[in-house]
Amino acid sequence: MLKIINRMSSQFDIDKIVDYLIPLKDKLPHSYKWNADLSKLIPLGLLTNESVQDLNDLTPYEKEIRLKNLVRAIMVSSMQNDPQLFDELCAWIVRDWGGIRAAKEDSLKQLTKSFLEKRDAKFERIASISKIAAYLFPEENIIYDSRVAYSLNWILLSQDAGKRFFPVPEGRNSKMCAFDINVLIRLKYVDFYLPNSSEGFKSQKKFISKVDKKLFMDKDTSYRELNSLIKKVSERLWTDDLEKSTKLYYTEMLLFSIADTEIFYDITSSMSSIVQRFKN
């Protein structure tokens, strides 16, 4: 396993990733805006009306940190002592906290059971199961969603910090959809997609997917590789804070919060410069 982790890590220039994030990390308490609905934690016995109000009076960042600690503690104890409460908390994390309303409770139970047995997850439904994994094991797992992958891929691409990129789960953010990171990656490595002639396309089935394999990681191992990378980034990014360097959600929250702000600005600014060169 150590050899596998070292091989994964060697694909990336950790220092370049950290250097990109250092100027942004102190903005996290102000830039993090996710503000989950806590009302369903009242009938589950985790919160009272008064404690919900107290949490909602905090900034989204402060609220999130307290919430993660509170929910995780109950999840760990209920996993063995109260399986029904554990399943209900998993459903709350995915549907109410995470916003994936269509997730079915029975399906989530099977998904969670499979993850707990293997301590790994395939790409299919990764946005759901990684939320549960990140709550349960914050020192080992992060949430793998479209924003996190979008931010990280742009850093890898723009800073030349890696030659392979993470598959991006489906997302609905209009800015990220408008400037599709997969397209930007393919444009930088467009030579990979050049056939010998215009006739070359006709003789090659699944042409794009075959070439994509050179640039994008295998979907079913990407979560393990993502966690390994973020663990190393966190160790170097938060050297002055033991909790932040070991709890991976701080780096995950940072990547999440900058996706449609700093990253979007960086992308459009960079593309504007390229377009101007073409015009000239």
Number of independent structural domains in the chain: 1
- Over residues 154-191, the pLDDT tens digits come to 999 999 999 899 999 988 899 999 999 999 999 999 99
- Over residues 256-274, the pLDDT tens digits come to 999 999 999 999 998 866 6
Mean pLDDT, the chain, whole residue set: 91
Range of 16's domain? Answer: 2-279
- Over residues 132-142, the pLDDT tens digits come to 999 999 999 99
Confidence of residue 123 (pLDDT cuts 50, 70, 90): very high
- Over residues 42-83, the pLDDT tens digits come to 999 999 999 999 999 999 999 999 999 999 999 999 999 999
pLDDT at 206: 78
Distances, alpha carbon 278 to alpha carbons 240, 271, 274, 275, in Å: 44, 11, 7, 5
Distance CA 210, CA 234 (A): 33
Q: Any bridge partners for residue 216, and if so which?
A: 165
